[in-house]
Amino acid sequence: MKNYAELWIGYGERQTGRDCINLRKFYLSGAGESDKIVKNAVRELKTGLKAMLDIDPGIVFGSCAETAPVNNGRDIQDREEYTVSLCDDGMAIDAKSGAGILYGVFDVLRSVSCEKDIKEAYASGKTVRPSNPLRMLNHWDNMDGSIERGYSGESFFYVNDEIVIDERTVDYARMIASVGINAVVINNVNVKQAASYMITDRYFDKLSELGEIFAGYGIRLFLSLNYASTIEIGGLDSADPLDEKVIAWWKTKMAEVFERIPTLGGFLVKADSEGRPGPFTYGRTQADGANMLADIAKEYNAIIIWRCFVYNCKQDWRDRKTDRARAGYDNFMPMDGDYHDNVILQIKNGPMDFQIREPISPLLGGLKKTNQMLEVQIAQEYTGHQIDVCYLIPEFKEILGFKTYCSDDKDTVADIISGDTFESRYSGIAAVTNTGNDFNWTGNYLAGANLFGFGRLAFDTDLSSEEIAEEFVRMTISQDEAVVRTIVDILLPSREIYERYTSPLGIGWMVTPATHYGCSVDGYEYDRWGTYHRADHLGIGVDRTDKGTGYALLYNEPNASVYNDPDKCPDELVLFFHHLPYTHKLHSGKTVIQHIYDTHFEGYEEAQQLAEKWKSLKGKVSDEIFENVSERFERQLSNAREWCDQVNSYFFRKSGIPDEKGRQIY
Ligand code: GCW
């Protein structure tokens, strides 16, 4: 027995498919049997089919493409594409690389695992080309084993400043490769202490071993980099990106790093953000910093992913001119076109910080001459800490589908990050991951749907939230139709329910400072973080219109005009863009205050209904899963109740306006 769950690669026994002739022989073409990814693919196929159906398939190798060198660029999608089709005595997986074959194998295993009719599923051949070149997970794991914003135990990569490589490491690679992840950053973007030494001899051997394991599953290893390495580990007195000594140090360093870790894809950098060092200290731009590193990394075919989460975190709450929402745009937009071609800017989905509802960052659709990557967060920092169930795939679908109007066609976020809109050399999507060393990897079993779902969606943006949820439940929890239905019905509305009992109408925050779990309406109101709701006895919201901070105007038309006008702005974002009286009527016909009361009472009630649904599964799912999720639901309900009562009481006390429906407010 392993000391962790195998989730969707557990390959428990299945009933359907045993007599399917097509599963008895596989013709693989695209890479040869000596390719190490192909070896892993074949092992996976054999293990999976044996365990699920007691079938030992024959393997026939067909034509073999040339193995191209490691590359993070656009053409990667050509090599990762696969086609699965039926033949008389088996089935064929055609690709142009080992990775393509591996993804084809996982497609077949998924179908078997979901008890699909194989003949039907592949009747006309199925070709899938990944929607995004880079499909990444960002770990915020620290080398002491703690995880920043981790809610699933400690890191499985590090113990006491050492890198741990064991069976779990390999199963992790299998698990994420199975949903299409092809790149992983294994350390926190806040690079401090031991992590600064990742690029030294101290860790090279382990990193090289890890990189090889990942490479066997088509995954490229990335590291977060300390921008001030020249000072902190190099003994120089500067990290000025234009300083010759600094440049020379990096040249030597990178030569060493890429020699010792040949599989390394590049680096992720958080600079000039929340106390991390960066080029601003030397009066240089973000582009100066990114380009310096990228020019050196280029020689090794590597990329620099540079985060846009740069803002003033020492704001004065009295100051109404400074608007944190503008910061990313103001810091990065003026240099559009200046970032070198192996730099990617990594942009959080919203302008603030992973709130339950935010508008899309105006950099997405603003930047036109820069490689871009979207950053989302499946670690539930602001969305319930993997205690509250919050299936995030519907939110990600909204983000990807958002029309930025940056061009006549292909203007959605999905188009931009796929690289199609601007034919970008590098692009993709990253998620701050939600894993840890808990038995079930993600704290709450249901939070596994976000890990599974992120990968599936990044690989195939056209999949629906429901299809993904259903696959997750069938592969991980149960095949029983009623159970599948019940859990899918819990997952699908969970994000909107969470939104209803927490902060209203896009304003965000109102969370307990530091932990970010639980309600504290004024927790950040008189603090330095730039995250205010500005409520008084008359109204609430931040004026980000042309009369306020001007943020609304950073969007392309018609989005700018829509957001700038309280009568056009969608309800769910209206307090993000406008300061409004409690009596302001929303499109829904309700006043702001009545909306707050209604949604909070409803949200809490709906959370109770979700918990009831879960209770009905006793005896129908494993005890381990049932108990884990039940215990979380108990905590979710007390959390939801606090949110509901605190928010309602707060706004009743501020506004003095009673609830039309006369419900109990304190
Ligand atoms: O959401 C904030 C978090 C920080 C995090 C930061 C970031 C890694 O509260 O913990 O630091 O974002 O994205 O860099």
Alpha carbon 3 to chain centroid distance? 26
Provide, rounded to the nearest whole percent, the portion of the chain with pLDDT above 90: 97
| pLDDT band, very low/low/confident/very high, at 644 (cuts 50, 70, 90) | very high
Provide, rounded to the nearest whole percent, the portion of the chain with pLDDT above 70: 99
| pLDDT at residue 593 tops 60 | yes
Over range 87-104, report the average pLDDT: 96
| pLDDT at residue 68 tops 70 | no
pLDDT in tens, 271-320: 999 999 999 999 999 999 999 999 999 999 999 999 999 999 999 999 99
> For the CA atoms of 474, 478, 483, 486, what is the dihedral angle to 10 degrees?
-50
Q: Helix/strand/coil (H, E, C) string of 243-280? A: CHHHHHHHHHHHHHHHHHCCCEEEEEECCCCCCCCCHH
User: What pLDDT is attached to residue 662?
Assistant: 98
User: What pLDDT is attached to residue 1?
Assistant: 85
Q: Closest residue (by CA) to atom 1 of ligand 1?
A: 353
Q: Closest residue (by CA) to atom 12 of ligand 1?
A: 353
Closest by CA to 43, choosing from 74, 9, 86, is: 9
| pLDDT at residue 70 tops 60 | no
For residue 338, what are the CA distances in angstroms to 241, 333, 406? 15, 10, 19
Mutate which of 190, 276, 352 to test ligand 1's pocket (most atoms within 8 Å of Cβ)? Answer: 190
| pLDDT at residue 163 tops 70 | yes
Whether residue 329 has its Cβ less than 6 Å from ligand 1: no
Q: Could you give the CA distance from residue 168 to residue 276 in angstroms, rounded to a whole number? A: 32
- Ligand 1 centroid–CA 189 distance in Å is 8
Over range 134-144, report the average pLDDT: 98
> Is 660 one of the annotated active-site residues of the chain?
no
Q: Could you give the CA distance from residue 155 to residue 629 in angstroms, rounded to a whole number? A: 22
| pLDDT at residue 572 tops 60 | yes
Whether residue 189 has its Cβ less than 6 Å from ligand 1: yes
User: What pLDDT is attached to residue 526?
Assistant: 98
| pLDDT at residue 78 tops 90 | no
| pLDDT at residue 511 tops 70 | yes
User: What pLDDT is attached to residue 168?
Assistant: 98
Mutate which of 353, 354, 377 to test ligand 1's pocket (most atoms within 8 Å of Cβ)? Answer: 353
Over range 515-527, report the average pLDDT: 98
Ordered structural domains, the chain, with CATH: 7-128 (3.30.379), 134-461 (3.20.20.80), 498-542+579-655 (3.90.1330.10)
Over range 449-458, report the average pLDDT: 98
| Active-site entry in 35, 107, 171, 353 | 353
pLDDT in tens, 19-51: 999 999 999 999 889 999 999 999 999 999 999
> Is 381 one of the annotated active-site residues of the chain?
yes
pLDDT in tens, 541-557: 999 999 999 999 999 99
| Partners of 428 in the β-ladder | 134, 373
Instruction: Name the average pLDDT for the chain.
Output: 97
Whether residue 524 has its Cβ less than 6 Å from ligand 1: no
pLDDT in tens, 201-257: 999 999 999 999 999 999 999 999 999 999 999 999 999 999 999 999 999 999 999
pLDDT in tens, 333-361: 999 999 999 999 999 999 999 999 999 99
| Active-site entry in 272, 288, 381, 395 | 381
| pLDDT at residue 69 tops 60 | no
User: What pLDDT is attached to residue 67?
Assistant: 56
Over range 54-63, report the average pLDDT: 93
User: What pLDDT is attached to residue 76?
Assistant: 85
Whether residue 495 has its Cβ less than 6 Å from ligand 1: no
For residue 516, what are the CA distances in angstroms to 158, 384, 519? 25, 9, 8
| pLDDT band, very low/low/confident/very high, at 75 (cuts 50, 70, 90) | confident
Which atom from ligand 1 is nearest to the alpha carbon of 149?
10
User: What pLDDT is attached to residue 638?
Assistant: 98
Whether residue 140 has its Cβ less than 6 Å from ligand 1: yes
| pLDDT at residue 65 tops 70 | no
DSSP H or E stretch at residue 633: helix 623-655
Residue type for 404, please? T
Q: 3-class SS at 515? A: coil
- Ligand 1 centroid–CA 270 distance in Å is 10
> Is 353 one of the annotated active-site residues of the chain?
yes
Q: Closest residue (by CA) to atom 11 of ligand 1?
A: 190
Whether residue 309 has its Cβ less than 6 Å from ligand 1: yes
Q: 3-class SS at 553? A: helix
Asked whether the beta carbons of 42 and 50 are under 8 A apart, the reply is no
- Cut 0.75: pTM above it: yes
| pLDDT band, very low/low/confident/very high, at 62 (cuts 50, 70, 90) | confident
